[in-house]
Amino acid sequence: MALQKCTVIGGCGFLGRHLVTMLLERGYQVNVFDIRQSWDNPKVRFFTGNLCKIEDLVPALEGVDVAFHCASPPYTSGDKKLFYNVNYLGTKNVIECCKKARVQRLVLTSSASVVYEGRDILNGTEELPYASKPIDYYTETKILQEKEVRKACQEKPDSDGNILLTVAIRPHGIFGPGDPHMLPTLVEMAKQGKSKFIIGNGKNLVDFTHVSNVVHGHILAAEALKVGSRVCGKAYHITNDEPIYF
């Protein structure tokens, strides 16, 4: 069945806005749900609200085939309570709201850091276990949210005949036009003279993925979510071809 209508939760963010643009190019009807509205497009229906509130979110999901959840407090906020409330409790609410609105597919933007234990990973696969000691609290809540979304995958119809197919996409650093996070941080650090140091032998690798690849991966995952598909309930790393020296 062709997917036609979708909601991008966090559609005013860096990744979410690129996702909306590619979805429109592919002929989808798009709703955006976000706590703030930072842009406009006559082809898009905007809903403003907090994803932690059922009454805010359900109206944005009604009549929708697929929900993309790419909302999160900024990594740099350092606010533990906010991370827990939005990433964990909020994601549980997203799942509940999808069920209430009978949305059948949910794609989560997770993070590759959910498998990072502080040791180098080269050619890591999705078989890696979740980090037993996540590198920070943000990552702890990304693990909690990913587990909830994967666990919520329900291919057999419930008593009301509803299903919910879920999948998680795990980028590491995302770059591209409009990036408000990584590039500005690097520039700021350079301005402060903090880019003159090398940790280790200078051959550390880090994985950055262009935002268009991350977005494409989300759409392919949504289109592959069907009953009986091996994608259901899984998590996928998303990357460019090669990691780069950092």
Nearest approach, Cβ of residue 7 and ligand NAD (Å): 11
DSSP-derived 3-state class of residue 184: helix
Among left, alpha and beta (phi > 0; psi -120 to 50; other), residue 228 is left
Catalytic site includes residue 75 = no
CA separation, residue 115 to residues 59, 149, 204, 222, 236 (Å): 34, 16, 18, 23, 12
Contact 76, 136 (CB under 8 A): no
Build a one-symbol-per-residue string for 59-98: x at contacts with ligand NAD by CB under 6 A, - elsewhere: -----------xxxxx-----------x---x--------
**Binding marks (x or -) toward ligand NAD, 25..44, rule CB under 6 A?**
---------xxx--------
Sign of the C-alpha dihedral computed for residues 71, 73, 74 and 78 taken in this order? negative
- In the complex with ligand NAD, the residue whose CB is nearer, 206 or 227, is 206
Reduced to 3 DSSP states, what percent helix, strand and coil does the chain have, rounded to the nearest 5? 35, 20, 45
Cβ closest to ligand NAD, residue 157 vs residue 180 = 180
Report 109-168 residues binding ligand NAD (CB under 6 A). 109, 111
**46, 8 Cβ separation under 8 angstroms:** no
Binding ligand NAD by CB under 6 A: which of 120, 180, 227, 240?
180
Footprint on this chain of ligand NAD (rule: CB under 6 A): 10, 12-16, 34-36, 50-52, 70-74, 86, 90, 109, 111, 171, 173-174, 180-182
Give the catalytic positions in this structure. Answer: 138
